[in-house]
Amino acid sequence: MKLLLTSAGFENPKIGKEFLRLIDKPVSEIEVLFIPTAARTDEELHYVEKSKEEILDLGIKKENICIYKLDKEINDNELEKINVIYVCGGNTFYLLYKVRESGFDKKIKEMVDKEIVYCGASAGSVLAGPDIEISGRDELWDKNDVGLKDLSGLNLTNHIISPHYIDDEEKVISKYEKETGKKVTRLTDKQALLIEGNEAKIIE
């Protein structure tokens, strides 16, 4: 299993280097499945473009980035060449809703089991955990405007991610931890959580 759970993509160049190391292929051959679905507002779409530019800046070819909006089922033939799934930020509840609706939740798990790298940015990182409840805690980030009742994440890891962490959020996050008994991994925009097999470490 190879997961790179970022707060804000490759804002820290060290995170981009880890991304390339994880994939372990010549950069010109890397094929990315790029999922922008969580982004709906102008601000969120701006960050999607930023994520795409960061991937291109690493040397990955534009024609090797396959954009998948979770608007249809995707078949195994389309996924054969993919080396990395990059899931962008936005509204975590909407993202989870669309991942389930498209059936892509099952495909992601199959791909991760085959050592395809999963890279998340913000909502994409939260999605990888056991649940996404933290995203709507006290309206901290996202509104559950799709009425999701089951907030189970992809469960690729037991780490619950709180991206874009700043000190002002500590009170809300600590309260959440105390009430639920769950531990939250806080990530600033310069940090990412790297998971390889059973080992996890913060990149900063």
Q: What is the DSSP string of the chain?
A: -EEEEESSTTSSHHHHHHHHHHH-S-GGG--EEEE-TT--SHHHHHHHHHHHHHHHHTT--GGGEEE--SSS---HHHHTT--EEEE--S-HHHHHHHHHHTTHHHHHHHHHHTT-EEEEETHHHHHTSSB-GGGGGGGSS---TT--S--B---S-SPEEE-S--GGGHHHHHHHHHHH---EEE--TT-EEEEETTEEEEE-
State the architecture of 2-203 in CATH terms. 3-Layer(aba) Sandwich (3.40)
Q: What contacts 190, CB < 8 A, 6 or more positions away?
A: 7, 8, 11, 12, 204
Q: What is the pLDDT of residue 78?
A: 87
- Quote the CA–CA distance of 27 and 60 in Å, as a whole number: 6
Q: Which two tokens stand for residue 202?
A: 């913060």
DSSP 122-179: THHHHHTSSB-GGGGGGGSS---TT--S--B---S-SPEEE-S--GGGHHHHHHHHHH
pLDDT band for position 140 (50/70/90)? low
CB 125 within 8 A of CB 159: no
pLDDT, tens digit, 9 for 90 and up, residues 23-76: 999 999 999 999 999 999 999 999 999 999 999 999 999 999 999 999 988 888
Which of 13, 1, 50 is CA-nearest to residue 191? 13
Domain boundaries, the chain: 2-203
- Which single residue is written with the structure tokens 């395809």? 116
pLDDT, tens digit, 9 for 90 and up, residues 74-98: 888 889 999 999 999 999 999 999 9
